[in-house]
Amino acid sequence: MRFVLIAYDYTDSEAPARRKVVRPRHMETMAVFKAAGTLKYSGPLLSKDGTTMIGSLMIHEYPSEEAMREDFLSKEPYAVEGIWEKINIYPHFPAEGLFADIL
């Protein structure tokens, strides 16, 4: 099953700097999950003016949300190193006939 993860960073004044420090480890982790086939899409959420990363949007494929939490969230640096303040996970499927071939 596909799951959409929408995570929001902490909003204190130091949050962007913390994200920048952790980002290389985050990108290494994303490459591992992409190679494993569980990460289908990932990208940052940006501030309204498009200048600051304020969170993340991802699409994963796992048998269950629990499996995703146990496998992915336990290893994702943004989750374990205090970058994300709020994490929402929703079941998802692509619109039939429109996007099934790309996700």
Work out whether the CA dihedral 68, 55, 18, 30 comes out positive or negative.
positive
User: What's the pTM?
Assistant: 0.90
Enumerate domains of the chain plus CATH numbers: 2-92 (3.30.70.1060)
59: exposed, middle or buried (Cβ count in 10 Å: 0-12, 13-18, 19+): middle
The pLDDT tens digits along the chain (103 residues) read 999 999 999 999 999 999 999 999 999 999 999 999 999 999 999 999 999 999 999 999 999 999 999 999 999 999 999 999 999 999 998 777 776 666 5
